Amino acid sequence: MRLSDVLSKSITTEFQQVEGFLSNRKLKTGNSKKLTEGKVALNFYCNNCNDQRTFYSGEEIFCIGVNQKTVSIDCVLECPRCGASVQMWFLLECRDEDDIHNPYPYIRIAKRSEKFSEFVSLNTENYGDFTEALEKAKRAARENFGAGSIVYLRKVFERIITQTAEAADPPIETKKSDGKPKPFFQILNPVKERCNIIPSEFAEDGYKLFGELSDVVHGDYDEEEALQKFDAFYRLVTGVLEKIKTNQELITAIGTLGWNDGGEEAE
């Protein structure tokens, strides 16, 4: 495996062994070195091309020494079709027993950050009006804001379920007789039974998961736990959106309620 392979994958806690990229020579703190370790490739949504694209770095990427165990990497990735760009920054660390300049160090991404231009979004899928909130959720999770990341997901989840209820035929009542919104669980249950939009992976546990995440939002949580559950909740929310996308009747109905599948109404 080469350095660019690790940089081109999603962040994990596992260390991966790579071919040494510093020629077995310590890179002093603050010194930089050009590396030719293959192109970094990551998927983003290109708003220019209106499609998911794999963005690539050039042949050379820049490495700055931090200490024996850590280096920082800078590169710019471009859309291969239109040249829209994303600036990327990575902090790489090696295992305690390694030095990062070793011939075959085990490394992982400790931190990754990106600066998008207006033409690029994080999400590789387009979820219409929900895309932005989903992006914010992911970013918050990556920056370790546990509760914050969950708030965005919960908002999206509640909105989809409510819109689906209103789009169902006949509609599922979302308001009490006094016009106030019903408790969310009283909407979620009939939607789950009638609309078939909860992915099978979550058919049993989706409800439980949502309850746990409500605790997170209402302060009865710890940050660590929120982050651990983030991935599952994100899969539930995007899974529901994917199911809606395959249901033409629902998508037409929901579209008229303000969710536009193309997501092009923004500006």
Q: Do 109 and 6 touch, CB atoms closer than 8 A?
A: yes
Distance, CA of 112 to CA of 82 (rounded, Å) = 24
Q: Which pair of tokens denotes residue 100?
A: 């990062």
Distance, CA of 68 to CA of 70 (rounded, Å) = 6
Contact residues for 163 (Cβ-Cβ < 8 A; gap 6+): 254, 257, 258, 259
Nearer CB in complex with Zn ion: 120/133:
120
Nearer CB in complex with Zn ion: 79/137:
79
Nearer CB in complex with Zn ion: 46/75:
46
Nearer CB in complex with Zn ion: 83/211:
83
Residues that bind Zn ion (CB under 5 A): 46, 48-49, 79, 81-82, 84
- Supply the minimum distance, in Å, between the C-beta of residue 81 and Zn ion: 5
Nearer CB in complex with Zn ion: 79/151:
79
Residue 180's φ and ψ, nearest 5 degrees, are -80, 150
Three-state SS for 177? coil
- Supply the minimum distance, in Å, between the C-beta of residue 47 and Zn ion: 8
Q: Which pair of tokens denotes residue 209?
A: 């998961």
Nearest to 72 by CA among 31, 12, 11: 31
- Supply the minimum distance, in Å, between the C-beta of residue 7 and Zn ion: 21
β-bridge mates for residue 115, sequence order: 87
Distance, CA of 159 to CA of 193 (rounded, Å) = 18
Nearer CB in complex with Zn ion: 14/118:
118
- Supply the minimum distance, in Å, between the C-beta of residue 53 and Zn ion: 5
Residue 264: alpha-carbon gap to chain centroid: 21
- Supply the minimum distance, in Å, between the C-beta of residue 84 and Zn ion: 5
- Supply the minimum distance, in Å, between the C-beta of residue 189 and Zn ion: 43
